[in-house]
Amino acid sequence: MSGFLEGLRCSECIDWGEKRNTIASIAAGVLFFTGWWIIIDAAVIYPRMDEFNHSYHACGVIATVAFLMINAVSNGQVRGDSYSEGCLGQTGARIWLFIGFMLAFGSLIASMWILFGGYVAKEN
Amino acid sequence: MAGIKGGPGALSPGGLGCRSERGDGGPTRGPHAVSRDPARAAGLPALAADSRLPPTATPASDLRPPGRALISLSFGGAIGLMFLMLGCALPIYNQYWPLFVLFFYILSPIPYCIARRLVDDTDAMSNACKELAIFLTTGIVVSAFGLPIVFARANLIEWGACALVLTGNTVIFATILGFFLVFGSNDDFSWQQW
């Protein structure tokens, strides 16, 4: 039973080949912009503050900022082996990436908190 | 799984990310095939398979496939715009809000064209630029689908009008994609048109 999961390596099952980055970009674009249009839809349908507190938009904004921060640094800059150092150097790139991930996880935790604290708890 | 392509290592001979997108380039490149192929064989090693194609026979036979593709693409564009205008101008709807998706139609080819103009070689930066352009283009396409849905949910337009506009969106974006597949896959695009 210990070798049960060894046959489930999905990165070798699907032969992505040269198209991996393109498919990942398309999937990321669909998810990101669908998320933003759902936010816009909620803001349009519930314009009043007592129905939908519009300060909750901060989660989406911070998540977008984090997404841009994380994608601004490349793996080569963090490992230190890229041809150009960037304006912050390797340590700066690592700190930038760290802050980016912290903002991303923070916005995720904040949105979960809003879901349970602002909506699920109020219904009960 | 291992028998399909002879192992996970032997994927593709070339190193280009966009190599397999150059689909129907054979007949449209007929008159330029002789002068273009040595340059392309030198600069783009992954297209060596294309440079081994013989130049096509007569100029007259080369003009018809691009003309046919152009006519069918323009027909597709006209049908798509017809659906959009039906969604706005039918008497039961009579709301011109959906015309805002025209903004997204015009915006959608721009990131990919800018990326193709800016970076032409195959290092990591050019792939990142191309992927950013694909991401932004996907975002614009999703926005063109999301805008009529948000309008319909906000009761600015009817759901029937929304359905017509979404159909028009699908046809127009298929047309733009077809345009890029048929006409955008040769290098002449960046030299002659600009």
Domain boundaries, chain B: 64-185
How confident is the model at residue B11, as a pLDDT? 42
How confident is the model at residue B16, as a pLDDT? 38
* pLDDT exceeds cutoff 70 at A13: no
> Do the interacting molecules here have an ipTM over 0.90?
no
Q: How far apart are CA B144 and CA A90, in angstroms?
A: 40
CA atoms within 13 A on the CB side of A34: 6
Chain B residues within 8 A of A37 when measuring between CB atoms: 142-143, 146-147, 149-150
Give the residue, A13 or A117, on which the prediction is more confident. A117
Sign (positive/negative) of CA torsion B12, A71, A53, A48?
Answer: negative
- Whether residues B139 and A32 touch (CB distance < 8 A) is answered with yes
pLDDT above 90 coverage of chain A, percent: 52
Question: Between A and B, how many residue pairs show a Cβ–Cβ distance under 8 A?
Answer: 73
Q: How far apart are CA B94 and CA B53, in angstroms?
A: 54
Q: Name the average pLDDT for chain A.
A: 86
- Whether residues A19 and B136 touch (CB distance < 8 A) is answered with no
Burial of B141 (0-12, 13-18, 19+ CB in 10 A): buried
Chain A residues within 8 A of B128 when measuring between CB atoms: 74
Fill in the amino acid letter for B40: R
**pLDDT tens, A54-76?**
999 999 999 999 999 999 888 77
Distance from CA of A67 to the nearest CA of B (A): 13
- CA B171 → CA A18, A106, A123, B77, B166, distances in Å? 28, 40, 44, 7, 9
Give the residue, A101 or B4, on which the prediction is more confident. A101
How confident is the model at residue B118, as a pLDDT? 83
User: B74 with B49: CB under 8 angstroms?
Assistant: no
- Whether residues B12 and A18 touch (CB distance < 8 A) is answered with yes
How confident is the model at residue A103, as a pLDDT? 97
Burial of B168 (0-12, 13-18, 19+ CB in 10 A): buried
Among the partner residues B138, B143, B150, nearest to A44 by beta-carbon distance: B150
Give the residue, A3 or B131, on which the prediction is more confident. B131
Distance from CA of B8 to the nearest CA of A (A): 7
How confident is the model at residue B97, as a pLDDT? 93
- Kindly give the parts of chain B with pLDDT less than 50: 1-37, 39-41, 43, 46-48, 61, 188-194
- Whether residues B8 and A12 touch (CB distance < 8 A) is answered with yes
- Whether residues A30 and B142 touch (CB distance < 8 A) is answered with yes
Whose CA is closest to B152, among B93, B108, B82, B103?
B93
How confident is the model at residue B53, as a pLDDT? 57
